[in-house]
Protein backbone atom coordinates (compact mmCIF):
# COMPACT_ATOMS: atom_id res chain seq x y z
CA UNK A 1 0.00 0.00 0.00
CA UNK A 2 2.79 2.43 0.93
CA UNK A 3 4.49 1.75 -2.41
CA UNK A 4 1.41 2.82 -4.36
CA UNK A 5 0.99 5.94 -2.23
CA UNK A 6 4.55 6.97 -2.99
CA UNK A 7 3.99 6.19 -6.66
CA UNK A 8 0.80 8.29 -6.72
CA UNK A 9 2.56 11.19 -5.00
CA UNK A 10 5.46 11.01 -7.47
CA UNK A 11 3.07 10.97 -10.44
CA UNK A 12 1.11 13.92 -9.04
CA UNK A 13 4.32 15.90 -8.48
CA UNK A 14 5.50 15.19 -12.03
CA UNK A 15 2.15 16.24 -13.52
CA UNK A 16 2.14 19.42 -11.44
CA UNK A 17 5.65 20.36 -12.56
CA UNK A 18 4.90 19.54 -16.20
CA UNK A 19 1.72 21.64 -16.03
CA UNK A 20 3.79 24.73 -15.25
CA UNK A 21 5.21 24.64 -18.77
CA UNK A 22 8.53 25.90 -17.43
CA UNK A 23 11.23 24.54 -19.77
CA UNK A 24 13.95 24.65 -17.12
CA UNK A 25 11.91 22.66 -14.58
CA UNK A 26 10.87 20.09 -17.18
CA UNK A 27 14.45 19.57 -18.41
CA UNK A 28 15.62 19.25 -14.80
CA UNK A 29 13.01 16.56 -14.18
CA UNK A 30 14.20 14.69 -17.28
CA UNK A 31 17.77 14.78 -15.96
CA UNK A 32 16.60 13.50 -12.55
CA UNK A 33 14.80 10.60 -14.23
CA UNK A 34 17.85 9.76 -16.34
CA UNK A 35 20.19 9.78 -13.34
CA UNK A 36 17.75 7.74 -11.24
CA UNK A 37 18.47 4.71 -13.45
CA UNK A 38 22.25 4.44 -12.84
CA UNK A 39 21.75 5.44 -9.19
CA UNK A 40 19.28 2.59 -8.74
CA UNK A 41 21.71 0.22 -10.44
CA UNK A 42 24.47 1.28 -8.04
CA UNK A 43 22.12 0.88 -5.06
CA UNK A 44 21.47 -2.76 -6.02
CA UNK A 45 25.15 -3.68 -6.06
CA UNK A 46 26.48 -1.34 -3.34
CA UNK A 47 23.53 -0.91 -0.99
CA UNK A 48 21.78 -4.25 -1.07
CA UNK A 49 24.71 -6.52 -1.97
CA UNK A 50 27.45 -4.62 -0.13
CA UNK A 51 29.93 -4.41 -3.04
CA UNK A 52 31.49 -0.96 -3.48
CA UNK A 53 31.79 0.31 -7.05
CA UNK A 54 33.46 3.53 -8.18
CA UNK A 55 33.08 2.83 -11.87
CA UNK A 56 29.36 2.94 -12.62
CA UNK A 57 29.74 6.10 -14.69
CA UNK A 58 31.54 3.85 -17.21
CA UNK A 59 28.45 1.65 -17.67
CA UNK A 60 26.33 4.79 -18.10
CA UNK A 61 28.74 6.11 -20.73
CA UNK A 62 29.02 2.77 -22.51
CA UNK A 63 25.24 2.63 -22.73
CA UNK A 64 25.13 6.12 -24.21
CA UNK A 65 27.96 5.69 -26.73
CA UNK A 66 26.81 2.16 -27.52
CA UNK A 67 23.28 3.28 -28.39
CA UNK A 68 24.53 6.18 -30.50
CA UNK A 69 27.07 4.11 -32.42
CA UNK A 70 24.79 1.10 -32.95
CA UNK A 71 22.12 3.39 -34.33
CA UNK A 72 24.63 5.04 -36.65
CA UNK A 73 26.32 1.85 -37.87
CA UNK A 74 23.27 -0.39 -38.21
CA UNK A 75 20.65 2.24 -39.04
CA UNK A 76 18.17 0.75 -36.57
CA UNK A 77 15.47 2.72 -34.71
CA UNK A 78 16.45 4.41 -31.46
CA UNK A 79 14.58 1.98 -29.22
CA UNK A 80 16.39 -0.93 -30.88
CA UNK A 81 19.85 0.59 -30.42
CA UNK A 82 19.05 1.30 -26.76
CA UNK A 83 17.95 -2.31 -26.25
CA UNK A 84 21.04 -3.72 -27.99
CA UNK A 85 23.38 -1.39 -26.11
CA UNK A 86 21.76 -2.29 -22.79
CA UNK A 87 22.14 -6.02 -23.50
CA UNK A 88 25.80 -5.63 -24.49
CA UNK A 89 26.68 -3.54 -21.44
CA UNK A 90 24.86 -6.02 -19.19
CA UNK A 91 27.04 -8.82 -20.55
CA UNK A 92 30.14 -6.68 -20.08
CA UNK A 93 29.09 -5.93 -16.49
CA UNK A 94 28.75 -9.66 -15.84
CA UNK A 95 32.28 -10.20 -17.24
CA UNK A 96 33.67 -7.33 -15.14
CA UNK A 97 32.00 -8.85 -12.09
CA UNK A 98 33.65 -12.18 -12.85
CA UNK A 99 37.01 -10.38 -12.68
CA UNK A 100 36.63 -7.82 -9.88
CA UNK A 101 34.62 -9.89 -7.39
CA UNK A 102 37.71 -11.95 -6.75
CA UNK A 103 38.65 -8.88 -4.68
CA UNK A 104 37.11 -7.34 -1.58
CA UNK A 105 37.02 -4.05 0.29
CA UNK A 106 39.47 -1.37 -0.81
CA UNK A 107 40.90 -3.61 -3.52
CA UNK A 108 37.45 -4.00 -5.08
CA UNK A 109 36.89 -0.23 -4.95
CA UNK A 110 40.25 0.37 -6.65
CA UNK A 111 39.53 -2.21 -9.34
CA UNK A 112 36.18 -0.62 -10.24
CA UNK A 113 37.77 2.83 -10.14
CA UNK A 114 40.45 1.65 -12.57
CA UNK A 115 37.77 0.27 -14.88
CA UNK A 116 35.98 3.62 -14.89
CA UNK A 117 39.20 5.51 -15.66
CA UNK A 118 40.13 3.12 -18.49
CA UNK A 119 36.72 3.49 -20.13
CA UNK A 120 36.82 7.27 -19.91
CA UNK A 121 40.31 7.36 -21.45
CA UNK A 122 38.98 5.22 -24.30
CA UNK A 123 36.12 7.67 -24.83
CA UNK A 124 38.69 10.48 -25.04
CA UNK A 125 41.38 8.85 -27.14
CA UNK A 126 39.35 6.82 -29.66
CA UNK A 127 38.75 9.82 -31.91
CA UNK A 128 37.75 7.78 -34.94
CA UNK A 129 34.93 6.08 -33.03
CA UNK A 130 33.78 8.40 -30.24
CA UNK A 131 34.92 11.74 -31.64
CA UNK A 132 37.23 12.24 -28.65
CA UNK A 133 36.99 15.58 -26.92
CA UNK A 134 35.16 17.00 -29.95
CA UNK A 135 32.30 14.69 -29.13
CA UNK A 136 29.82 12.60 -31.07
CA UNK A 137 27.14 14.62 -32.83
CA UNK A 138 24.11 13.97 -34.96
CA UNK A 139 22.39 11.53 -32.57
CA UNK A 140 18.71 11.46 -33.55
CA UNK A 141 15.92 11.93 -30.98
CA UNK A 142 14.12 8.94 -29.52
CA UNK A 143 11.44 7.46 -31.74
CA UNK A 144 8.93 4.73 -30.94
CA UNK A 145 6.15 3.32 -33.11
CA UNK A 146 6.47 6.17 -35.56
CA UNK A 147 6.41 8.85 -32.87
CA UNK A 148 9.45 11.09 -32.44
CA UNK A 149 10.04 12.53 -28.97
CA UNK A 150 11.75 15.82 -29.71
CA UNK A 151 10.46 18.04 -26.91
CA UNK A 152 11.46 17.94 -23.25
CA UNK A 153 7.83 17.37 -22.25
CA UNK A 154 7.62 14.26 -24.45
CA UNK A 155 10.91 12.91 -23.09
CA UNK A 156 9.70 13.63 -19.56
CA UNK A 157 6.89 11.10 -19.96
CA UNK A 158 9.13 8.44 -21.55
CA UNK A 159 12.02 8.81 -19.10
CA UNK A 160 9.83 8.69 -16.02
CA UNK A 161 7.81 5.74 -17.24
CA UNK A 162 11.10 3.86 -17.68
CA UNK A 163 12.48 5.13 -14.35
CA UNK A 164 9.40 4.14 -12.36
CA UNK A 165 9.28 0.74 -14.07
CA UNK A 166 12.95 0.25 -13.14
CA UNK A 167 12.32 1.25 -9.52
CA UNK A 168 9.40 -1.18 -9.26
CA UNK A 169 11.51 -3.93 -10.84
CA UNK A 170 14.31 -3.21 -8.35
CA UNK A 171 11.85 -3.33 -5.47
CA UNK A 172 10.49 -6.68 -6.63
CA UNK A 173 14.04 -8.02 -6.99
CA UNK A 174 14.92 -6.92 -3.47
CA UNK A 175 11.77 -8.58 -2.11
CA UNK A 176 12.48 -11.86 -3.91
CA UNK A 177 14.55 -14.81 -2.60
CA UNK A 178 17.48 -13.38 -4.59
CA UNK A 179 17.02 -10.14 -2.68
CA UNK A 180 17.26 -12.01 0.61
CA UNK A 181 20.48 -13.61 -0.60
CA UNK A 182 21.79 -10.17 -1.61
CA UNK A 183 21.22 -8.80 1.89
CA UNK A 184 22.80 -11.90 3.42
CA UNK A 185 25.90 -11.33 1.28
CA UNK A 186 26.02 -7.69 2.36
CA UNK A 187 25.92 -8.75 6.02
CA UNK A 188 28.39 -11.65 5.89
CA UNK A 189 29.53 -13.57 2.82
CA UNK A 190 30.72 -16.56 4.82
CA UNK A 191 27.34 -16.96 6.51
CA UNK A 192 25.52 -16.47 3.20
CA UNK A 193 27.65 -19.19 1.59
CA UNK A 194 27.14 -21.55 4.52
CA UNK A 195 23.35 -21.62 3.99
CA UNK A 196 23.71 -22.65 0.35
CA UNK A 197 23.97 -19.36 -1.57
CA UNK A 198 26.27 -19.24 -4.59
CA UNK A 199 27.78 -15.91 -3.54
CA UNK A 200 29.90 -15.28 -6.63
CA UNK A 201 27.06 -16.06 -9.05
CA UNK A 202 24.65 -13.77 -7.20
CA UNK A 203 27.15 -10.92 -7.16
CA UNK A 204 27.77 -11.29 -10.90
CA UNK A 205 24.03 -11.43 -11.56
CA UNK A 206 23.39 -8.23 -9.63
CA UNK A 207 26.35 -6.57 -11.35
CA UNK A 208 24.74 -7.48 -14.68
CA UNK A 209 21.36 -6.04 -13.64
CA UNK A 210 23.11 -2.96 -12.27
CA UNK A 211 24.99 -2.44 -15.54
CA UNK A 212 21.74 -2.84 -17.51
CA UNK A 213 20.07 -0.09 -15.44
CA UNK A 214 23.04 2.21 -16.11
CA UNK A 215 23.14 1.45 -19.83
CA UNK A 216 19.39 1.99 -20.21
CA UNK A 217 19.75 5.42 -18.65
CA UNK A 218 22.78 6.16 -20.84
CA UNK A 219 20.96 5.20 -24.04
CA UNK A 220 18.04 7.47 -23.19
CA UNK A 221 20.50 10.23 -22.31
CA UNK A 222 22.21 9.98 -25.70
CA UNK A 223 18.96 10.34 -27.63
CA UNK A 224 17.77 13.13 -25.33
CA UNK A 225 20.90 15.29 -25.54
CA UNK A 226 21.81 14.44 -29.14
CA UNK A 227 25.52 14.96 -28.41
CA UNK A 228 28.05 12.98 -26.39
CA UNK A 229 31.45 13.90 -24.95
CA UNK A 230 33.61 12.06 -22.38
CA UNK A 231 33.17 14.67 -19.62
CA UNK A 232 29.80 13.56 -18.18
CA UNK A 233 31.05 9.98 -17.70
CA UNK A 234 34.15 10.62 -15.62
CA UNK A 235 35.02 9.43 -12.11
CA UNK A 236 33.32 12.51 -10.69
CA UNK A 237 29.98 11.22 -11.90
CA UNK A 238 30.64 7.85 -10.23
CA UNK A 239 31.23 9.68 -6.95
CA UNK A 240 28.07 11.69 -7.55
CA UNK A 241 26.09 8.47 -8.02
CA UNK A 242 27.56 7.04 -4.82
CA UNK A 243 26.55 10.22 -3.01
CA UNK A 244 22.99 9.95 -4.35
CA UNK A 245 22.74 6.42 -2.98
CA UNK A 246 24.27 7.44 0.36
CA UNK A 247 21.91 10.40 0.76
CA UNK A 248 18.89 8.29 -0.10
CA UNK A 249 19.95 5.33 2.01
CA UNK A 250 22.09 2.49 0.69
CA UNK A 251 19.33 -0.10 1.16
CA UNK A 252 16.24 1.97 0.38
CA UNK A 253 14.77 1.73 -3.14
CA UNK A 254 12.57 4.83 -2.98
CA UNK A 255 15.12 6.65 -0.87
CA UNK A 256 17.55 6.50 -3.80
CA UNK A 257 15.09 8.60 -5.82
CA UNK A 258 15.10 11.16 -3.01
CA UNK A 259 18.90 11.16 -3.10
CA UNK A 260 18.91 11.76 -6.87
CA UNK A 261 16.52 14.70 -6.52
CA UNK A 262 18.51 16.20 -3.64
CA UNK A 263 21.93 15.91 -5.30
CA UNK A 264 20.65 17.13 -8.69
CA UNK A 265 19.25 20.26 -7.05
CA UNK A 266 22.46 20.73 -5.05
CA UNK A 267 24.40 20.31 -8.30
CA UNK A 268 22.49 23.21 -9.83
CA UNK A 269 23.54 25.38 -6.87
CA UNK A 270 27.18 24.24 -7.19
CA UNK A 271 27.51 25.04 -10.90
CA UNK A 272 29.35 28.33 -10.20
CA UNK A 273 32.17 26.28 -8.61
CA UNK A 274 32.98 24.64 -11.94
CA UNK A 275 35.31 21.65 -11.60
CA UNK A 276 35.60 22.23 -7.85
CA UNK A 277 32.09 20.89 -7.30
CA UNK A 278 33.67 17.43 -6.91
CA UNK A 279 35.26 18.69 -3.66
CA UNK A 280 31.83 19.63 -2.35
CA UNK A 281 30.41 16.26 -3.40
CA UNK A 282 33.26 14.41 -1.68
CA UNK A 283 32.79 16.39 1.53
CA UNK A 284 29.04 15.79 1.49
CA UNK A 285 29.63 12.06 0.91
CA UNK A 286 31.92 11.79 3.95
CA UNK A 287 29.50 13.74 6.16
CA UNK A 288 26.47 11.71 5.04
CA UNK A 289 28.21 8.34 5.59
CA UNK A 290 29.39 9.35 9.09
CA UNK A 291 26.30 11.14 10.39
CA UNK A 292 23.48 9.71 8.24
CA UNK A 293 24.51 6.11 7.41
CA UNK A 294 20.88 5.15 6.74
CA UNK A 295 20.18 8.11 4.47
CA UNK A 296 19.45 11.79 4.93
CA UNK A 297 15.71 11.38 5.50
CA UNK A 298 16.11 8.71 8.17
CA UNK A 299 19.03 10.61 9.68
CA UNK A 300 16.94 13.76 10.01
CA UNK A 301 14.06 11.75 11.48
CA UNK A 302 16.45 10.23 14.04
CA UNK A 303 17.77 13.69 14.97
CA UNK A 304 14.22 15.02 15.42
CA UNK A 305 13.27 12.00 17.56
CA UNK A 306 16.40 12.46 19.68
CA UNK A 307 15.67 16.16 20.16
CA UNK A 308 12.08 15.34 21.13
CA UNK A 309 13.21 12.75 23.70
CA UNK A 310 15.71 15.25 25.12
CA UNK A 311 13.01 17.92 25.40
CA UNK A 312 10.59 15.50 27.11
CA UNK A 313 13.31 14.34 29.53
CA UNK A 314 14.14 17.97 30.34
CA UNK A 315 10.52 18.89 30.97
CA UNK A 316 10.01 16.01 33.43
CA UNK A 317 12.88 17.09 35.66
User: Average pLDDT over the chain, rounded to whole?
Assistant: 86
Digit-coded pLDDT (tens) for 128-171: 899 888 889 989 998 877 778 888 888 888 999 999 999 989 99
Helix (H) or strand (E) holding 106, with range, is: helix 105-125
Q: Is residue 8 part of a domain?
A: no
- CA separation (Å) from 267 to 199, 264, 275, 312? 37, 5, 11, 38
- pLDDT band of residue 259 (cuts 50, 70, 90) is confident
Q: Is residue 1 part of a domain?
A: no
Digit-coded pLDDT (tens) for 302-313: 666 776 777 776
CA distance 295 to 158: 28
The domain spanning residue 195 has which CATH number?
A: 1.10.3470
Structural domain tally of the chain? 1
Domain ranges, residue 21: 13-315
- pLDDT band of residue 255 (cuts 50, 70, 90) is confident
**Rounded to 10 degrees, what is the CA torsion of 218, 219, 224, 225?**
60
CA distance 252 to 255: 5
Exposure string (b/e) for 261-284, b if CB count within 10 Å is 16 or more?
A: bbbbebbeebeeeeeebbeebeeb
Q: Is residue 200 part of a domain?
A: yes
Model pTM score: 0.89
Q: Is residue 198 part of a domain?
A: yes
Q: Is residue 2 part of a domain?
A: no
CA distance 84 to 155: 20
Alpha carbon distance, N-terminus to C-terminus of the chain: 42
CA distance 213 to 148: 23
- Of 87-101, 146-160, 192-206, 279-293, the one with minimum mean pLDDT is 279-293
Q: Is residue 3 part of a domain?
A: no
According to DSSP, the residues that pair with 136 across neighbouring strands are 228
Q: Is residue 5 part of a domain?
A: no
Q: Is residue 4 part of a domain?
A: no
Amino acid sequence: MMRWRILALAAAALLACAATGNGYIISLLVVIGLQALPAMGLALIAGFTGQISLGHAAFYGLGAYGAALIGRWLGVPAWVDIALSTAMVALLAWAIGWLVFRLKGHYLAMATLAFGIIVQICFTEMHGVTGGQDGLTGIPPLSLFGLTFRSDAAMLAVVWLVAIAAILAAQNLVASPTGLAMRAIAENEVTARSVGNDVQSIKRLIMMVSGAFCALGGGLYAHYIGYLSPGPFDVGFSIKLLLMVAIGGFADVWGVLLGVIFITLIGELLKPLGAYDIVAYGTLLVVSVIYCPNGLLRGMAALVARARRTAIAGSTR
